[in-house]
Copies of this chain bind each other. A is one copy, B any other.
Amino acid sequence: MEYYSSQINRLVEELSRLPGIGSKSAQRLAFHILNMPKENANSLACAITEARNNVRYCKECCTLTDDELCPVCKNSKRDHRTIMAVENTRDLAAYEKTGKYEGVYHVLHGAISPMLGIGPADIRLKELMVRLQNEVDELIIATNSSLEGEATAMYISKLVKPTGIRVTRIASGVPVGGDLEYIDEVTLLRALEGRREL
């Protein structure tokens, strides 16, 4: 990548380190940035620095936020006795977008994966157990429907059930609008197992 002058090269290099950005996209992005009004480029740079420097974990639910408490934990109208455990902040946002969930969250920052050497101590499980010592009615486990997500759900449920708190798992099955013929066998079997009376 020695085809541009040094500062342009450096920008292309920095951008190409981002996930999903190859060398061609990095060049396209770099020249887009170079052709931006100066204020816009500086505002982008400033958003990166400020977000990175100020972001921290919500002291209640461990999500990434820029305040001591995240907007959800701060909100007294939410049901603080229902906790949904998710793998990361993006999953939290996905449920927030539905606009229908009234409870609060707990962000685990990962899932247990013996393959990747991620054990129960590597995710924010200890923090969850501490929270469950307060008055909590239900723990909804909303980890992904992957091998790791399922293993994490099983592990947490075994850990929490003895405390008497209700532990539930989000349903897995055919996605709404999904066409049966294109859905994998495991999902089809899950949907069958999870069938309900009409």
Interface residues of A (CB under 8 A from B): 3-8, 10-11, 13-15, 17-21, 25, 27-34, 36, 38, 40-55, 64-67, 70-71, 88-90, 92-93, 96-97
Where chain A touches its partner, the secondary structure class is helix
Q: Is A70 within 8 A of B5, CB to CB?
A: yes
User: Number of copies of this chain in the oligomer?
Assistant: 2
User: Which of A6, A18, A21 has most B Cβ within 10 Å?
Assistant: A18
Q: Is B48 within 8 A of A8, CB to CB?
A: no
A44 surroundings in chain B (CB, below 8 A): 14-15, 17, 48
Given contacts A31-B64, A33-B51, contact A20 B10 (CB under 8 A): no
Q: Is B89 within 8 A of A55, CB to CB?
A: no
Q: Is A55 within 8 A of B7, CB to CB?
A: yes
What separation, in Å, do the CA atoms of A38 and B51 have in the docked complex? 10
Q: Is A7 within 8 A of B96, CB to CB?
A: no
A51 surroundings in chain B (CB, below 8 A): 7-8, 10-11, 30, 33-34
A13 surroundings in chain B (CB, below 8 A): 47
Q: Which residue of B lies closest to A9 (CB)?
A: B51
What separation, in Å, do the CA atoms of A71 and B14 have in the docked complex? 21
A173 to chain B, nearest CB (A): 23
User: Which of A29, A42, A43, A52 has most B Cβ within 10 Å?
Assistant: A52
What separation, in Å, do the CA atoms of A42 and B46 have in the docked complex? 9
A101 to chain B, nearest CB (A): 11
A30 to chain B, nearest CB (A): 7
Q: Which residue of B lies closest to A13 (CB)?
A: B47
Partner of A34, one of B17, B52, B70, B71: B52
A94 to chain B, nearest CB (A): 8
Partner of A3, one of B32, B36, B66, B97: B97
